[in-house]
Amino acid sequence: MWVFGYGSLIWKVDFPYERRVIGYIKGYVRRFWQASIDHRGVPGKPGRVVTLIPSNDPEDKVWGVAYELPEDQVDQIKGRLDEREKRYQTNLNVPFYPKQISSNKSSVLVHVYVAPTFGPLFLGETDAVAMAEQIKSARGPSGDNLDYLAKLFEFMRDEVGSDAEEDTHLTMLFRLCFP
């Protein structure tokens, strides 16, 4: 089993894995449209974290990291991830395309956690400046919301490279928060 991380699962990996592979999934966009009241914000002052939104363009890419789980620990790790990602109630299985193809396979199926687009924690689209202000001022048990944004941007810049510019939403928010 493979799990795809496109937010904090990129840098906060608290489970064993066999392989870590950088790559992307298609047909989605990453957006800071999910409220965080238990990690990067608190009730009454939520932070903003990323979720996936289906794209109108099936070729749109979301870059991240796929982790191959040890076969004998899949159930245990998946149980821990289900608890960690409990606010991300939708689970998808989609093709993942590695940045560097190391075998004759061009893709592998990955398990992805996605927040539902209904309910009180889905914030949706709003003014970019307002989103940036919310990110700059939020803090929760896992730290500053600004740190979450910076780590995601640094991953894209340092590990994805020139394709990082495809994530215009992330880049725009980073530039608003770090002028």
Which whole-number Å values give the CA distances from 94 to 45, 70, 91, 113, 168, in the listed order? Answer: 33, 19, 10, 11, 22
Report the range of poorest mean pLDDT among 3-12, 29-38, 160-169.
160-169
CATH of the domain at 37: 3.10.490.10
Q: What percent of the chain has pLDDT over 90?
A: 82
The answer to whether 49 and 8 have CB atoms below 8 angstroms apart is yes
What is the tally of structural domains in the chain?
Answer: 1
**pTM recorded for the entire structure:** 0.92
The answer to whether 25 and 95 have CB atoms below 8 angstroms apart is yes
User: What is the SS3 assignment for 158?
Assistant: helix
Average pLDDT, the chain: 93
pLDDT at 120 over 90: no
Range(s) of the domain holding residue 116: 2-177
Q: Where are the alpha helices (DSSP H) in 22-98?
A: 74-84
Identify the helix (H) or strand (E) that includes residue 146. Answer: helix 145-155
- How do residues 19-31 score in pLDDT, each as one tens digit? 999 999 999 999 9
As annotated, the active-site residues are: 85
